[in-house]
Structure formats: C-alpha cells, structure tokens
Structure 1
C-alpha cells in the first residue's frame, strides 16, 4: 500500500529466457528414470510468473500435454503444491488462496486478513475478476456468507477497492480524522467501530500515515495501542493489519512469515502462499526486515523449519538472485 519502491528475490530470466529449452528440461526431468527435482527447482525459481506462463504454453505446444498435470502425476506433498502454486497466474493465485480460506469446514480468517487488508485498489479489482472467472462466484458474496459482524464490514469495505489515491495532503482533514478516531474509541464508553472502518478503508496511505502521527499527539499512545484496547478478535487483527501495512508493509509481512515458521508446527500452507505471492514484488525487502527484526536471515529461518525438495525450493525463492 505504501508508495515506495520494493525489490523481489526472483528476477526475470531476461535474455536467458527460452521457453522451448525450459520445456525440454522440464519434460526430461519429469519423464526420465526418476524425477530430477533439481531441474524443476532451477526452472521454476529461475523465472518470474509471466515467463512461467510462457513455459506452460510452450510445454503444451511441444508435447501435447499439460505441464501442471504432468507435475501432479510425478510429484507429491508440499513440493508438488509449491510447484503448482508457482505455475498459477499471480492474481489468480490470490483468488485461489481466498477460496481455500473459505472453502470447507471453518474459515481461515487470518488468511483473509493478510490478503484483503493489504491490497491496492487495482489488485482488489483484479482478484475479484479472477475469482468470478475461475470459481463462477462472487468473492464479495462468499466473504459475506463466511464472515459476520464488524469483521465482515471491514472486509466488504475493502473489497470495494475504493481507497482514495489522492497524494495531496489536507492538514485539516488529517486532524479531523485523528480526532474522530480518538472520540470514537478512547474518549468514550464503548467504541464506534464504524468510524474506524470508514477511515481505515477509504483514506489514502499518505493521508493515513499523517493521521497516525497526529493521533499519537492527541492520545499519547499510538493507533495500534488504541485498536488493541478498543477492539478484539478478528476485527482487531484486521484493523492492525491495515495500520501495519500502511506504516511498513515489509515489517508486517516479516511478522506474518515469522508466525508461520516459529509457532507450534509450521504453517506450511500460509508460508508457501506468502513466499510465492511476494517473491517477485518485495521479498528481498521483507527478508531485510526479517533479519533486522529477528536477527536471522529469512532463507536460514526457512531452511531450519522445512525439509526435502520443498524446503530447497522455498529457500531458493527466498534467496535474492
């Protein structure tokens, strides 16, 4: 959400990008005696998503077979899943992750938060279109069915993709929003969550950064502290995700990854989703934030918590090229 330049870990193959050669390498790796996982890792981690889509198309042209189906038939476990994730078009992958978060028994609210609370207007619109195209259902309708209360309200607000993109700063509006947040929470009995919802879902990132600074002057505590004391549960997590992503998205995602690998057992599903989603965009910066915050490099942290070809591919994706 913050308008700054970020850097991913996976770079375009550029002049070395040869879909025909890559398709031949993958075909031999899959169809030979035993699977050559190293070649699969080299090809998938050595190309950006757009190039992988070209390789998929060329593979089908050359061999009359679907690369995804061939990999499904030859791989298994987390390694298979990770390879298939890398072959999904980027925005379709976000839509797929949201579908998985809501499909079946129970809803994975944290996955909804980490995706919907951190996207730009254009990304939200792309994801909604992909969701409708792929699943023949409305993302907004599915979110409405699977969530409730004030938590539902903030997600539906964000799904409108209507956040202001105005870069001009209006000091009076900044001061009013900061005062309104204070009056809606700390300065009254009970919380008007609709005020928090309206401001956090509709204002531009530069405006919100200024609002958070002004809030601290009024309140003597930062906005995160106010949100924690005035809200709870998934609503609190959603508001905090928006605030953290506005302040420093790389630190926010470093925290998300850390939760995946340092809790009781590894949350492999979410770890894969985070690494794949950010590998081309800002994973190098997230890795820098991770090292600064936790005193350990991201590739080393992942290596210590994963194993086999799955772990090797994740580490390769997390290592700057």
Structure 2
C-alpha cells in the first residue's frame, strides 16, 4: 500500500458534474468521440431499450447503439424516463439481461463522469490492498473542476470523505502528493512568468540534483500548484540548468508510487492525450488484456479528448487504436469499445 522510500541518487550524474472544463489548460477539450445526440428524446431511447430487453433474450446491438450514441447526461435522462414510463430501474434491468464485460461497461456508462471517477476510486481503495495506479491515473490527471465534482460525488455515493479515505490508504510523500491533488487548487492562470519559471527550476535543482538525497516536498509544491503553461516553461528552464529533463530527474530522485504520480503530472502537462494513449497501449500489449484500465480510460475520455488520444496512439505505435482494440477483444465487448471511440 505504501510506496518504497525515495532512493538517493548515486554520486554520478450532475449536468454540472457531467460538464467538463478548460481549467488546467493542458488540452483543448471538446474533441470527444461521444457527443450529445441531436434531436434527443429520453423517452424514445427508453422505449428502444425496453423493446431490446423484452421477451426471450436481449438485443445487445440495440443496447450498444443507444448507449454509444448518447452522452452521459443523456443516458441519465434515459434512466429517469425509463423508470417514469415503466416503473422499473433501467440499470437493474440491464444487469439482468447482459453479462460479462459488456454488462460492466454498459452499467458504468450510466454514471455521470464525476460519479464514474468516484466509483473507480472507491473500488481502488475498498477491501484488502490498494490500487495505487488507479489513484494516480484519476487524481493526477483531472482538472480542478473535475476534482471538486469527484469529491462531491464520492460523498453522495458512499457517504464517505474521499480525502480521508486516501489518507488512510496511502502513506509518506505519495500520500502528500495525492492530498495536494485533492485540493483541486492548481493555478489556472494561463500567463507565463519566465522569472518564476527560472526560480522554480533552480529550487528543484537545489532540492534534487544539487544535493545528496531529495527534498520531495519542494517537487510536490511546484508540481501540484503551478498552472500547466507555467510548468511547461519551468521544464524548459530546468533542462537549461541541468543536463536532465524533468522526467529523467524524477526517475533519478524518486521511486515507487511517488515517482509514478509525479511522472503522470509531468506527462499530462506535456501532452495529456499522449499519456492516455500510452495507458491504452499498455492495457492491451502482450498476453492478456487489462480490461479495467481499458474500460476506465475509454469511458472517462470519450467525451473529452478521444479524437486526440487516437491521433497520439497512431503517431506513437504506427497503428490505429481501433485496430489494436479489434485485435485484442471480441464479440459485443469489441463492438461497444469500437463504437465508443468512433470505429477503427
């Protein structure tokens, strides 16, 4: 549950919840593959789902069509209209009709974005052990507005305080980094102060490369509070002062979950879609598939930046994300994933 201690370097060198914001300035949002359905009618979609589940068997194709052509807020309306029209809980009906990975992904699509993140975080901390990778993926990549919405959703869904749960499940400098992320208070000033960037870079050199051991708190303070444009300027200044990139220095100075958390922040500052493209690639490469990560990333990004993620995937791995998914999955699970990302 706790990360390994930092290793000293060697002496050698609601609708509101569903909405998204531009807060951190990492990417231009609105490049999702799932958009609000035009001429939407929750009642019509509810009727389609009712027919798909009525009688013997289930028309999975119809279910997939509905959930992948409507966005999260519209799916919430469909759920409400379904209960109003038929006096039944849509999600319970779907659970009874679907199975396996298709059931899992369809049910998760009926959460609003902040609710989905809240459920993923609870899953990561519930029971024995802690899934630190999920904590990092969610808490170190979301905007201020998203973090605030997640905290509200977590409290509403589980009657628990997210920050207290994170504190109880993590330790050391990794815990401090996640608590910093949970404040959702990163600067959103899009202006860049070069002198401040130089000063921050010098402070990080002093806290790391220029000393024996590492002052992790200084890295935490800068990486958790500065705006994305300001951090990008600082990374440039940092590489002028030492012969390492910020990523290289973090790998030299940190270890374990703290290293992963800080690297995630740096990767997202540089290129958020590229970070998620790499997550998707790693979830499918080699033997077996990390379906939890595959589903989590796709569900959380289809309304935000999936178009750019697909572009970064193609650029990095010389093949389309769709073809990679097609080769690693099968059946209705493959169909719904491809539909969500906009096909091959």
Conserved 8 A contact 2:27-2:272: no
1:307, 1:78 → 2: CA distance? 10
Matched, 1:71 2:106: no
Moved more, 234-243 or 29-38: 29-38
Alpha-carbon displacement from aligned partner over 1:3-59 (angstroms, at most 9, x marks no partner): 4323011122112x1212111110111113211000000000011111111111111
Match of 2:252 among 222, 225, 229: 229
Q: Secondary structure at the match of 1:248?
A: helix
Q: Secondary structure at the match of 1:213?
A: helix
Q: Secondary structure at the match of 1:140?
A: helix
Matched, 1:11 2:35: yes
1:62, 1:39 → 2: CA distance? 19
1:320, 1:243 → 2: CA distance? 30
Q: What residue in structure 1 maps to residue 25 of structure 2?
A: 2
Aligned residues: CA RMSD: 1.2
**Per-residue deviation, 1:121:** 1.1
Match of 1:179 among 190, 202, 206: 202
**Per-residue deviation, 1:264:** 3.8
Alpha-carbon displacement from aligned partner over 1:233-287 (angstroms, at most 9, x marks no partner): 1100000000000010010010111111114421101111110110111111101
1:102, 1:139 → 2: CA distance? 10
Greater fraction helix: 1
Q: What residue in structure 1 maps to residue 298 of structure 2?
A: 275
Conserved 8 A contact 1:143-1:156: yes
Conserved 8 A contact 1:291-1:298: yes
Note the 1:1-321 alignment, pairs <5 A.
1-6=24-29, 7-15=31-39, 17-319=40-342
2:33, 2:314 → 1: CA distance? 15
CA 320–176 in structure 1, closer or farther in 2 if over 3 Å, else same: farther
2:112, 2:308 → 1: CA distance? 22
TM-score (norm 2): 0.91
**Per-residue deviation, 1:137:** 0.5
Conserved 8 A contact 2:267-2:275: yes
**Per-residue deviation, 1:320:** 5.9
2:342, 2:42 → 1: CA distance? 23
In the TM superposition, structure 1's runs of 4+ consecutive aligned residues that sit over 6 Å from their partners are none
TM-score (norm 1): 0.97
- Structure 2, gaps ≥5 residues long: 1-23
Conserved 8 A contact 2:139-2:147: yes
Conserved 8 A contact 1:10-1:279: yes
**Per-residue deviation, 1:172:** 1.6
**Per-residue deviation, 1:167:** 2.0
Tell me the matched-pair count. Answer: 320
- Structure 1, gaps ≥5 residues long: none
Q: What residue in structure 1 maps to residue 18 of structure 2?
A: none
2:213, 2:80 → 1: CA distance? 57
2:169, 2:324 → 1: CA distance? 34
